[in-house]
Amino acid sequence: QVQLVESGGGLVQAGGSLKLTCTPSSRDSFSAWGWFRQPPGKEREFVAVVSRNGRNTRYADSVKGRFTISRDDAKNMVYLQMNKLKPDDTGIFYCATGPVDSSYTSWGQGTQVTVSP
């Protein structure tokens, strides 16, 4: 339905910060916008989700208090601000969207985040 492109990944030292951006290919958007990640050798896991209007958010326990998901509906962009990064945060981060949370129909190709100890 929509193409998603993630950007902002890179290499950062433990304790540092990164901000990821999800850029859709079209203006149309679904109700749920989420970030997932896949650590090396592990399955993809949920990180955070935000509603289209940006008013509702939910986070994985592992990132609560450190990550902040947000949506700029005017720019049709989704962000993930990551603070106090840990080596365990290392992985490929994916942006996804769908009609409701838990039903994601569009996925990006991912952006690599590497946190060095």
Per residue in 61-76, pLDDT (tens digit) is 999 999 999 999 888 8
Backbone angles phi, psi at 14, to 5 degrees: -55, 135
Confidence at residue 18, expressed as pLDDT on a 0 to 100 scale = 98
Confidence at residue 76, expressed as pLDDT on a 0 to 100 scale = 86
- pLDDT, tens digit, for every residue of 71-96? 998 888 999 999 999 999 999 999 99
Length of the chain: 117
Confidence at residue 74, expressed as pLDDT on a 0 to 100 scale = 86
Confidence of residue 53 (pLDDT cuts 50, 70, 90): confident
